[in-house]
Amino acid sequence: METLILNSLFFLFPLFFLPITQEYFITNKFYLLILAIFLLLLTSVFKLFTSKKLVIKPNSLDVPVILIVLSIGLTTFITTTNKFQSILNPNFGLLTFVALGIYYFYLSRSKGNSTNSNFFQLIPTFLSLITIIFFFQPFAKANLPINLTFLKNPNFSFLGSQLDLTIVLGFFLIFSLFNLKKLTGTSDLRFKVYHLGSIVLTLIALIISISSLFRPGQLVLPPFNLSWYAAIEVLKNPITAFFGAGVENFSIFFTRVKDLAYNQSVLWQIASFNYSRSAILHILTEVGLFGLIAFGFLIFSVLKQVRAIHESTLHLISFVYLFIYLLFFPPSLVVWFLLFTTLSIIAQGTKQSGRVIELDELSFVYFGIVFVSFLLIGVSGFLLARNYLSEYYFKKSITGLANNNAKEVYDNMRKARVLNPFTERYVLNFSQTNLVFADNLARKDPTKITEADRQSIAQAVQAGISEAKGLVNLNPGKAGYWENLALIYQNIIPIASGSDAWSISSYQRAILLDPSNPNYRLRLGGIYFLLGQYQDAVRFFEQTAQLKPDWPNAHYNLAWAYFQTQQYDKATAAMKNVTNLVDKKTSPQDWEKANQDLENFKDRLANEEKQASQESSLNLPEKSTNELDPKLQLPPEASPEAR
């Protein structure tokens, strides 16, 4: 039974996906892995229940695998901020490594070796055929339901990303090439044709997947130097140096080490990344020296074990291949699965006798192990099923948004939020949903807004603020969450008293956490501009232009702030910068607008600004027309400082 489960998992894992969650691929592969582990554990508990024997079979790689899981467990409970979400992180969470560790323990002790069977060859064949077929976009003109529009993507694969597809195809190609020696030992023509055909298909698909990685916007990765600086930043504190920054906290340290050069790169609008450029650097950043040492010990143990295995060249090359990936690319559930599979195959060469513990006369221990095992599996299964259901409802809310169904969006997002109150993207989206609901009510004709409408608006605003503050409390070190709170306060300035000061306070917190982000300073300067506090607006617009000197909109806002403070010479110089930065051929409307303003500044005319077209990227802050009179009086606990 265990062999069947392991083989089924190994075959299904690269191919499995379901379009019923927000992310179709990695999320569902993660839950498939967990389901297989539950089935394996249940099989073992039933076996223990019937045989009353506990069998222990040590392997050479058991200790380093346990140390890796232990290191991630320690950082989860010592330095990680949002522990529940980090546990469920599919690419680098505690539950992922616990499941992979259990998978390793079962597979390394399995009698069968699926990598030497024809069954193993089916996986790259399927993946390659799908890659080649979708390269020709067979559904490009098909009228598909919303849930199936992903089939129109020429880069579609069962892995979810072209990078994962590339690494998996390369992994299986290595095995296929090493198994070529089988062809000389068989007279089965069909086997030879199939094996050679599979290699050819895999090679073609690999070329397609590699070429797709070089398409613009396909492979967006953080810079190596900033990933290195983030890892070094962690070492400055004794606790984080040993235990790491905590799972899902890489982005916090990335924002600390961003430099001005990053603002000049094409990545500048990405405020932060959740994963390091290198999985090894990611381990050092989030798990610390303990995790890095554990991983180093694993490498040493693998090399030692490989030397002791006869004809181990294939295993060594497979391990080195995956290790090179971990050196140069971010962590991935798919790659971790391949790595632990390789570790299991290597550990199968260990020749050590097992130990059998008879539990007939230890009835208390026997019943205790069985009861606790069933209890843990049952409780864990319930919690994970609940979390998966929240993913399902979250996907339904996104579908409702695509269908322009506000009730479907709100109801399903609320269900997802209730089922799992710790997932930050649920809280983020629900805070914004409440704000949209309030904004839609406030857009009504002011003469037709009833007292009931005012109460509904107030409730939606307070709910949005509460959710945004809850998000900050889940992980106060992430600047983007303070930005979300600031934006919510900023959007309710026309309808709620005091929200302008709260928005300013929240933006200031975001700037402290991400000091090199020009967007935060531009928006904060925009609030001061709308409030008529032009000297403060000038200060923050100047800082924005210093952080991002080639950003036309930064100089455009600065020019008008100078103009409002009657610094016409500086306003003219700033607007001249705008005309120099805007390409007249690619953005003629922006250039014409800036040039017209420049002429006005030169003549020191006090014209009102010309309203920008929808295509324009040069914009001043604009006051909302959705004002309430009188404004809502929000309670003190709505402020960002209140807890």
Structure tokens at 629: 């009179």
Of the candidate ranges 282-291, 382-391, 522-531, 622-631, the one whose mean pLDDT is the lowest: 622-631
Mean pLDDT across the chain, nearest whole number? Answer: 86
Q: Is residue 48 over pLDDT 60? A: yes
State the helix-helix crossing angle for 118-135 and 189-213, rounded to 10 degrees. Answer: 50
| pLDDT for the residue 605 | 45
**pLDDT for position 615:** 47
Which range among 54-58, 442-446, 593-597 has the greatest average pLDDT? 593-597
The type of residue at 584 is K
**Confidence at residue 611, expressed as pLDDT on a 0 to 100 scale:** 37
> How distant, in Å, are the alpha carbons of 390, 602, 604, 610 from that of 568?
56, 8, 7, 18
Residues 60-75 pLDDT 10s: 889 999 999 999 999 9
Question: If we measure between CA atoms, which residue out of 37, 52, 83 comes closest to residue 376?
Answer: 37
State the Cα–Cα distance between residues 537 and 640, nearest whole angstrom: 22
Domains, in order of start, for the chain: 57-357 (no CATH), 423-638 (1.25.40.10)
Rounded alpha-carbon distances, angstroms, from residue 625 to 394, 495, 629:
32, 10, 12
Q: What are 632's strand-pairing partners?
A: 496
| Per-residue pLDDT band at 623 (split at 50, 70, 90) | low
CB atoms within 10 A of CB 613: 10
Q: What is the pLDDT of residue 441?
A: 76
User: For residue 219, what pLDDT is reported?
Assistant: 84
pLDDT band at 361 (very low <50, low <70, confident <90, very high): low
CB-based contacts of 187: which residues, under 8 Å, 6+ apart?
A: none
Helix axes 162-178, 118-135, angle to 10 degrees: 140
Q: Is-contact 332 159, C-beta < 8 A?
A: no
In sequence order, the 6+-apart residues with CB closer than 8 A to the CB of 406 are: 400, 437, 440
The pLDDT of residue 617 is 65
Angle at which helix 224-234 crosses helix 279-308, to 10 degrees, equals: 90
311 pLDDT higher than 70: no
Helix axes 518-530, 499-513, angle to 10 degrees: 160
Residue 337 in contact with residue 331, Cβ under 8 Å? no
pLDDT tens, position by position, 282-302: 999 999 999 999 999 999 999
CA 288 to each of CA 19, 177, 291, 301, 461: distance values in angstroms, whole numbers, following the listed order = 36, 38, 6, 20, 41
Average pLDDT over residues 254-276: 93
Non-local CB neighbours of 569 within 8 Å, separated by 6+ positions: none
Q: How confident is the model at residue 322 (pLDDT cuts 50, 70, 90)?
A: very high
Per-residue pLDDT, 187: 64
pLDDT of residue 370: 80
- Percentage of the chain exceeding pLDDT 70: 88
Residue 539: CB atoms within 10 Å: 16
- Say what the pTM is: 0.89
DSSP code of residue 632: B
In this predicted model, what pLDDT tens digit does every residue of 425-483 receive, in sequence order? 999 999 988 888 877 777 777 677 777 877 888 888 888 889 999 999 999 999 999 99
- The residue count for the chain: 643
Amino acid type, 148: L
Q: What is the DSSP string of 393-458?
A: HHHHHHHHHHTT-HHHHHHHHHHHHHH-TT-HHHHHHHHHHHHHHHHHHHTS-GGG--HHHHHHHH
pLDDT value at 626 more than 70 = no
Q: Residue 358's Cα: distance from chain center in Å?
A: 46
**Residue 360 pLDDT class (50, 70, 90 cuts):** low
Q: What is the pLDDT of residues 78-97, one digit of tens each?
A: 999 999 999 999 999 999 99
Share of the chain above pLDDT 90, in %: 52
- The pLDDT value recorded for residue 482 is 95
What pLDDT does residue 293 have? 96
What token pair was written down for 180? Answer: 């070529």
Residue with tokens 């069954």: 119
**Is the pLDDT assigned to residue 629 strictly greater than 60?**
no
- The dihedral through the CA atoms of 248, 253, 256, 262 has a sign that is negative
Q: Are 538 and 629 in contact (CB under 8 A)?
A: no
Reduce the DSSP state of residue 355 to 3 states and report it: strand
Cα torsion 579, 582, 588, 590: sign = negative
Q: Is 53 helix (H, G, I), strand (E, B) or coil?
A: strand
DSSP 8-class letter at 244: -
Q: What is the mean pLDDT of residues 132-137?
A: 86
DSSP conformation letters of 268-327:
TT----SS-SSHHHHHHHHHHHHHHHHHHHHHHHHHHHHHHSTT-HHHHHHHHHHHHHHH
Over residues 176-191, the pLDDT tens digits come to: 887 776 666 666 677 6
Residues in Cβ contact with 467 at an 8 Å cutoff, skipping those fewer than 6 apart: 417, 427, 430, 431, 434
pLDDT digits (tens, 9 = 90+) for 148-166: 777 777 778 888 889 999 9
CA distances from 84 to 80, 387, 390, 482 (A): 9, 11, 14, 21
Indicate the range of 9-13, 252-256, 454-458 predicted with least confidence: 454-458
* Residue 55: CB atoms within 10 Å: 13
Q: Per DSSP, which regions of 78-229 are E strands?
A: none
CA–CA separation, 446 and 629 (whole Å): 8
Structure tokens at 411: 């109801």
Closest CA to 28 of 110, 90, 115: 90
Q: pLDDT of 600-619, one tens digit each? A: 887 764 443 333 333 456 77
Residue-level pLDDT at 37: 95
| The predicted structure's pLDDT at residue 607 | 44
Token digits of residue 167? 């690494």
Name the DSSP letter for residue 358. E
Task: Identify the pLDDT of residue 232.
Answer: 95
Average pLDDT over residues 26-40: 95
pLDDT at 627: 58
CB 535 within 8 A of CB 566: no
Q: End-to-end CA distance of the chain: give it in Å, rounded.
A: 53
Torsion 31-32-35-37 (CA) sign: negative
3-state secondary structure of 89: coil
Q: What are the structure tokens assigned to 365, written together?
A: 């221990």
Coil/strand/helix, residue 579: helix
* 106 CB burial (10 A radius; 0-12, 13-18, 19+): buried
Are 523 and 490 in contact, with CB atoms under 8 Å apart? yes
